[in-house]
Structure 1
């Protein structure tokens, strides 16, 4: 079998690459997407909290998500998908220890034209009366272009449209690859002019099978769905200084947190860590939002982050030695919101030989080999 482009991974990122390739009038080749889990039972795209923000510390992340929100607003037109986009914003809370970082991030964000405001504890209480400002020194509120959406619908929209445009999806697993194609678990070889590695949390494992060091691994995150007796009022996606976050989800709310130090192993089973609710999430919610004191968990799930252990930023672009190998992975929790922009960029790289609309060279693989991390300080 042969294909001009083989994409390893058919989640939101890989399917976005396939969609943008087949949407480019200058591309006349074939695209094959290899996905080992066609039901997407373990896919990060299907298990994500599916939120989008502009409040990053890295300008390129801001640019990626800015295109993302514009794409999501046009998803019905472009993909025929209703994503249920909501835009109440993000609210980052900081203690005295985190105030300087929040202020530094604010300078970057305002410099990039983000709609964001800083609130002192009095201003915070005035804007959101339901919140407790105890222990807080500052808050950063995104007033536009931030919110959440139906992530699985975005993934399926990309996949469906890519197939409609002629991309082929193969239910199989890549066991190895090289400069001329990929070897499949069910047997056989798929030859290719270009290979795109977009295998999400398993990208590091897939790369390692072919002797390529890639610092991307699956990190488990638990999400809890809870109900309350009385809704507190308009609620952005709120991130407490502890790392616990929460937001509305229909008539309920969802919440999660960063696992405790020493309890975040790579590739842990996809089992909900209920002790995180009891010991970390609920105590924080109850202290920060009095209306959440009587919160009751009604559902929960676990999903994987494609965690870049090097610097928690995406790895995008060509391998320095294998010219026809392109990475699109390692986004550390913000991949689905950036999948529209990254898919477009990778398609441009393949079709035109360079980036045309947004230069992603900053996130190239070479920074890993040369030990030049680009730290993203706003990791949720």
Structure 2
């Protein structure tokens, strides 16, 4: 029985000496890192660290002083990756994960469906979350809820749609399934709204896959391009009628960058700023994903700079990789035509909890024996210290989710 920190230190040292391989493996899986070239999805160069670009004669130079920890420029139609910087680096995605949420759930419900919100559907939303302002015991059309997701980045709208889909856990499982079908192996889904959660990660490459898939859905394209809308308000106690209020898209490039289609921005305490932008010019659609630049505004500035570069580089660079295509499973895939269809019923919940799902690291779990238990104790002790430090940081700086 452990009675002191000294005893715990002795146990850690003993386990470390006897089981070096087992101790290294869990740390390698848990730490965000660029996959090795032999396993990089989309091409080996996308697994290499640093800037990857293959210019031809007359190619423009990439923008200088880019601060994003990870970014990528790709052609939405051909899937060619024109340039990238650590595109498989696994980082917290913030609300850009809502792209995957929409790609998963949007095809299921007719936009004119009316849903009465129950009180439990808007409970347990993370403190500091961005909200559109949904009230319990009121009716909302599905299209209003999606405007709340895309324009206001409303976590309350995400929760309501998740309950309509069978619940948070089922939706998270389906999002993970969708990510795997798109071969987005860097992504692990813990919450459907992108709220900061330990272990929730994605990458510039995966977010680009999600955006490319989403833009094939006309409703997705419409919502992410909407700049302003009216949202249903509360009942007026005197007249018994419902009012409405205006909401505006939090995407700061929409309406400012020429040809911008959308897609989604995100900001959280842990993730910093992330942005996935799509723009069309001369019949060509480019995708740019920027994750974790030096400041909030830089995510928009660097996206615009990379879009400018991508359009100027047309025909003057050779691709360094490719956005892979969706895996075709047996049976039909969602059509994406949610506007006039009733959608497909949600499948039964998965038996396994989301924490046991694969994360693209390959292989199953070994049978549990005493070495695994010992290593688990060491890892758990380290995890407790990490959680305490994160909680202390959050108490100091507060939280902000968008």
Report the TM-score, using the length of structure 1 for normalisation: 0.22
Judging by fraction of residues, say which structure has more helix: 2
Q: Which has the larger radius of gyration?
A: 2
Judging by fraction of residues, say which structure has more strand: 1
Report the TM-score, using the length of structure 2 for normalisation: 0.21
